Amino acid sequence: MDFLPIFLNIRNKVCLVVGGGEVAARKAMLLLQAGAQVSVVAPELDSAFNAYVARGKINYCAECFQLEHLHNIMLVIAATNDRTINQQVSEAAQQRQIPVNVVDDPKLCTFIMPSIIDRSPLLIAVSSGGQSPVLARILRAQLEALIPVAYARVASIAGKFRQQVKQHFIHPEKRRLFWEKVLQGPFTEMVLAGKDKTAQDYLLQSLQHEKDESPQGEVYLVGAGPGNPDLLTFRAMRLMQQADVVVYDRLVSAAILDMVRRDATRIYAGKERNKHTLEQESINQLLVRLAQEGKRVLRLKGGDPFIFGRGGEEIETLASHHIPFQVVPGITAASGVAAYAGIPLTHRDYAQSCIFVTGHLKNKMIDLDWAHLARPNQTIVIYMGLLGLPVLCQQLIVHGLPSSTPAAIIQQGTTQKQKIVTGTLQTLPNLTAAVNLTPPTLIIVGEVVKLHQNLTWFEPTS
């Protein structure tokens, strides 16, 4: 994050706006809406200020900015059309440890003004870090349409019961579960329909029927897909926001992990070749223990948990201990990475079947049914085969595939670090060695690889 998003209480605090134009007037209006006492310094004021001056809403000083104007000021906004003056205001404020915003000049700011969705007491702020204010406004407009004005009443009514709920539930997890159940249920719909009294009665009845007992633990086995956050399912995102603990693998991208509830405990259980942070049996028992403690556990795996993800082993252990669980499929690397590489896994002119295998080396060998793999009109997708690529290509040739068979290896497919190397079974190992690819990678062998050049569409920026 370039800026820490915070909500600042400026009620009855003196804030300064330097500038008298229309932009300065808009900033003054925002400060007034937040309850601040607003002082404006400018040689003259735009007509946009007339209403504020007439009603005595601002304290106007008709002169150029001077250092003494910063005395006893909590916050400053510089909104003149003269960058020299704006820079002077910024430097003086920063020397005095006063938060300062310079309109449309992020380099001179210690805080920035976001686009705001106001459903007070519910506030939502959208910011691009000063890089694209128009984009922030577009996103704000989209959110405005999705969030009814009545959510202000939802927040206010919930706030009235907050202390009562806190006293009723000793366990914080149980308290959070209660609010999630209420706010995602009939209560909110009643408020949105204008039935505030009915909604309050419902909330009170719900509270009286809920016992303060240790919450029931559960495990969510969720596929995180091949790396691009846009490829997560809606259900995956919902459970990511509900979990108390997340146990995640090496193949879960940082961008996806950032979408997990921020106060959830994170436990890394990644596996790299010959380097396991936790052995599989230890992971199985960890999930059991956390659930028995009443935690909602998100087991987050790259790709799909049931395709080379050992998800079956984990839920077998959970089932044997009578732990409730859910399974949320993810887009497996084969389909996601192939799509982003412009390589259809099947095509009636090239391949009528597709097979997935793993390419782990063991004692410099790979134990696969080579005769079954080396068939014409079939696409072979090999997971985790970077280190064993020379062996894979050699064995497929030995068992009958032509050395000219098209093949590709894709690094970190679907992400901005995607890199594709194409060749043949004979040339791909040397081509790959020359560009120093890093895991995770996916290998695709078959005539469909020929289509990559014409069908490629994804253009990573890095």
For the annotated catalytic residues, the residue numbers are 249, 271
Name the residue among 224, 243, 229, 219 with its Cα closest to residue 327: 219
Secondary structure (3-state) at 27: helix
164-194 residues labelled b (16+ CB within 10 A) or e (exposed): ebeebbeeebbbbbbbeebeeeebbebbeee
| Tokens found for residue 38 | 């607003």
Report whether 44 belongs to an annotated binding site.
yes
What does DSSP assign to residue 425?
T
Does the CA dihedral 401-403-405-410 come out positive or negative?
Answer: positive
Residue type, 107: K
Rg of the chain over Cα atoms, rounded to whole angstroms, equals 29
Chain centroid to CA 357: 30
What is the SS3 assignment for 119? strand
Those residues whose C-beta lies under 8 Å from the C-beta of residue 141, and which sit 6 or more positions away, are: none
How many whole angstroms from its chain centre is CA 111? Answer: 23
Residues forming beta bridges with residue 77, ordered by sequence position: 17, 101
210 marked among binding-site residues: no
Distance CA 328, CA 166 (A): 32
Distance CA 203, CA 158 (A): 9
Q: Is 333 a known ligand-binding residue? A: yes
3-state secondary structure 291-328: HHCCCEEEEEECECCCCCCCHHHHHHHHHHCCCCEEEE
Q: Output the six-digit token pair for 54.
A: 């007439």
183 closest CA partner among 194, 192, 171, 172: 192
304 annotated among ligand-binding-site residues: yes
346 is in an annotated binding site: no
Q: State both tokens at 417.
A: 């670090």
Confirm or deny that 384 is annotated as ligand binding. yes
118 closest CA partner among 28, 30, 233, 216: 30
Question: Which CA distances in Å does 120 have to 79, 117, 134, 196, 336?
Answer: 26, 9, 23, 17, 41
Which residues, other chains included, contact 238 with Cβ-Cβ below 8 Å and sequence gap of 6+? none
316 annotated as ligand-binding: no
The answer to whether 226 is annotated as binding is yes
User: Is 277 assigned to a binding site?
Assistant: no
* Residue 113 labelled as part of a binding site: no
Q: Would you say 389 and 432 are in contact if contact means Cβ atoms under 8 Å apart?
A: yes
Annotated binding site for NAD(+): 22-23, 43-44
Annotated binding site: 22-23, 43-44, 226, 302-304, 307, 332-333, 384, 413
